């Protein structure tokens, strides 16, 4: 390990990330008596220090984050200037970002169970509700809007407490450097359509971002993705938004309704506050008896990161990859992310490779053809099955509830109150929600063949099909 850099009262170690105007390093603060504390040290880059507008923006961020003292927001400890370089010392949060969790699950166990997702969303809403309603020491509303709520800016700590980070592009009503109307900051894929159209943002733009993240967590597909930013903006403004349950049939209609309300393009029809969305999520979890504690959350996250991708190269590993992973341009499994402390930056900091999804949400014909090839090679006599019948069988429990009102485009109306019903806690079963429903009969045959191959090789099928015993008790 190289010698740390001395920076005022701080010892600076490895870099965690770098953005357009600042970098973040692991550092130790030193105080009288020899006390030391590990922090995330954010420092303005040299080129940004010569730009008065960027300097003022950094100072505004420091002034803003000093008010933020909430369990679900990374705390700020110090702000200052050393040798002409401005810095902010923040809480160092050990744990993966949501981006890393999504990639790990895509590469190993499949989609994140919806009860786990609801816990994450509730904690995000708690953080936003606090920030949106924060007042200064004189009781004046600060009018804080994060404007960059996205998976890289959410960390799951090692205690199961989620932390919202990077208020670097946040807007406060009292900011000395107000963003002009028509100027947008953040990640386009998670920006509300009215914000992209140049309208002045309000807290509801953050709730749209929560909806976009919720859709991604529930389906393992980024909701709006394209090869260039202009196309992403077009998708955000006009692309049809399919129900999460269309891609992941384990998602209950009650949760569909909450997510689709957050994704209303008309802000007046969206959730009007983070508290309202949080209440709706909590009610769904309670009604379905799928409430997840933070202790259960971190146990599940630890389990997810303990899993390894199947060995690449064998027919069986390719089969499992096809069954499990959503479409990826490279056709390769995602790299397993590190569980070390992470603190992302203004533009996300880390390589944000995105899972590609077609605009129509349809099934990838390439995967269908390859599944057929595997079927022919491994089973020879396997039939495809009746997809309509398979769909009816797999959805029979949901059909027991009354049909819900349809909107003009044929989707269920998210504003209609869902019918409460009991539901068992879902464990992340491999493939349970990653393959489109019209391939269910075909998939069953392939899984049976895969199981026989595993048994013949003397491998433990539990490695691919289940949880450890303690997690089965926890989740079942």
Q: In which band, very low, low, confident or very high, does the pLDDT at 450 lie, cut at 50, 70 and 90? A: low
What residues are labeled active site? 148
How large a percentage of the chain has pLDDT more than 70? 61
Is residue 81 scored above 60 in pLDDT? yes
What is the predicted pLDDT for the residue at 451?
Answer: 58
What is the predicted pLDDT for the residue at 343?
Answer: 55
- What average pLDDT does range 442-463 have in this prediction? 50
User: According to the per-residue pLDDT averaged within each range, which of 23-27, 144-148, 209-213, 342-346 is highest?
Assistant: 209-213
Is residue 156 scored above 50 in pLDDT? yes
Residue predicted with more confidence, 448 or 282:
282
What is the predicted pLDDT for the residue at 30?
Answer: 87
Cβ proximity of 93 and 155 under 8 Å: yes
> Can you read off the two tokens belonging to residue 113?
């169970």
* Mean pLDDT score of the chain: 74
Is residue 402 scored above 60 in pLDDT? no
How large a percentage of the chain has pLDDT more than 90? 49
Alpha carbon distance, N-terminus to C-terminus of the chain: 44
53-83 burial: b if 16+ Cβ within 10 Å, else e: ebbebbbbbbebbebbebebbbbbebbeeee
User: What would the pLDDT profile of 113-124 be if each residue is shown by its tens digit?
Assistant: 999 999 999 999
Specify the CATH architecture of the domain 94-476.
Orthogonal Bundle (1.10)
Lowest mean pLDDT among 143-147, 328-332, 337-341: 328-332
Is residue 446 scored above 90 in pLDDT? no
User: What would the pLDDT profile of 368-399 be if each residue is shown by its tens digit?
Assistant: 444 444 444 433 433 334 344 333 344 334 33
What is the predicted pLDDT for the residue at 167?
Answer: 81
Is residue 474 scored above 90 in pLDDT? no
Q: Which of 172, 166, 161 is nearest to 132 (CA)?
A: 172
Is residue 458 scored above 60 in pLDDT? no
Is residue 434 scored above 50 in pLDDT? no
What is the predicted pLDDT for the residue at 181?
Answer: 39
276-280 contacts, C-beta under 8 A, 24 or more apart: 277/121, 277/125, 277/207, 277/210, 278/122, 278/125, 278/126, 278/129
- What average pLDDT does range 255-262 have in this prediction? 98
Instruction: State the Cα–Cα distance between residues 86 and 46, nearest whole angstrom.
Output: 10
- What average pLDDT does range 319-348 have in this prediction? 43
347-372 burial: b if 16+ Cβ within 10 Å, else e: bbbbebebbbbeeebebbeebeebbe
Is 103 buried (19+), middle (13-18) or exposed (0-12) by CB count in 10 A?
Answer: buried
- What residue spans in the chain does CATH classification 1.10.510.10 cover? 94-476
User: What would the pLDDT profile of 82-121 be if each residue is shown by its tens digit?
Assistant: 998 999 999 999 999 999 999 999 999 999 999 999 999 9
- When the candidates are 3.40.109.10, 1.10.3470.10, 3.30.200.20, 3.40.190.10, the CATH number that belongs to 5-91 is 3.30.200.20
- What residue spans in the chain does CATH classification 3.30.200.20 cover? 5-91
Residue predicted with more confidence, 186 or 439:
186
Q: Which of 442, 430, 426 is nearest to 220 (CA)?
A: 430
User: According to the per-residue pLDDT averaged within each range, which of 14-18, 405-409, 462-466 is highest?
Assistant: 14-18
Asked whether the whole model's pTM tops 0.75, one would answer: no
């Amino acid at each position: 390990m190289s010698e740390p850099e001395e920076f005022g009262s701080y010892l600076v170690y490895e870099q965690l990330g770098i953005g357009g105007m600042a970098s973040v390093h692991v550092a130790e603060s030193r105080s009288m008596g020899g006390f030391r504390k590990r922090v995330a040290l954010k420092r303005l880059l040299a080129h940004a220090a010569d730009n008065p507008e960027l300097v003022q923006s950094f100072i505004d961020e420091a002034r803003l984050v000093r008010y933020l003292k909430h369990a679900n927001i990374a705390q700020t400890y110090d702000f200052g200037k050393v040798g002409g370089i401005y810095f902010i010392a923040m809480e160092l949060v050990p744990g993966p970002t949501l981006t890393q969790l999504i990639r790990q699950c895509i590469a190993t166990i499949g989609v994140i169970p919806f009860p786990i997702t609801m816990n994450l969303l509730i904690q995000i809403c708690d953080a936003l509700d606090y920030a949106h309603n924060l007042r200064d020491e004189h009781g004046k509303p600060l009018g804080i809007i994060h404007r960059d709520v996205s998976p890289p800016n959410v960390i799951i700590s090692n205690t199961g407490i989620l932390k919202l980070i990077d208020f670097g592009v946040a807007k406060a009503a009292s900011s000395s450097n107000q963003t002009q109307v028509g100027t947008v900051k953040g990640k386009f894929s998670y920006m509300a359509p009215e914000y992209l159209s140049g309208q002045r943002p309000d807290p509801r733009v953050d709730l749209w971002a929560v909806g976009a993240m919720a859709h991604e967590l529930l389906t393992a597909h980024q909701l709006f993705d394209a090869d260039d930013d202009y196309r992403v903006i077009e998708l955000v403004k006009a692309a049809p938004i399919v129900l999460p349950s269309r891609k992941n049939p384990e998602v209950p209609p009650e949760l569909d309704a909450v997510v689709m309300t957050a994704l209303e393009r008309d802000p007046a029809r969206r959730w009007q506050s983070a508290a309202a969305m949080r209440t709706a999520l909590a009610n769904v979890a309670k009604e379905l008896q799928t409430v997840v504690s933070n202790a259960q959350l971190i146990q599940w996250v630890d389990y997810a990161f303990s899993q390894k991708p199947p060995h690449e190269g064998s027919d069986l590993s390719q089969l499992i990859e096809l069954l499990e992973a959503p479409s990826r341009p490279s056709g390769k499994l995602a790299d397993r992310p590190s569980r070390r402390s992470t603190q992302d930056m203004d533009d996300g900091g880390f390589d944000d490779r995105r899972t590609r999804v077609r605009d129509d949400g349809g099934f990838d014909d390439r995967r269908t053809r390859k599944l057929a090839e595997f079927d022919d090679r491994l089973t020879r006599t396997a039939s495809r099955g009746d997809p309509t019948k398979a769909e009816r069988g797999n959805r029979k429990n949901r059909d027991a509830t009354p049909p819900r009102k349809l909107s003009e485009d044929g989707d269920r109306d998210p504003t209609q109150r869902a019918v409460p019903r009991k539901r068992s806690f879902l464990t992340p079963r491999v493939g349970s929600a990653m393959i489109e429903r019209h391939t269910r009969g075909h998939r069953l045959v392939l899984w049976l063949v895969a199981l026989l191959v595993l048994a013949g090789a003397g491998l433990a099928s539990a490695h691919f099909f289940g949880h450890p015993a303690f997690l089965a008790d926890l989740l079942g």
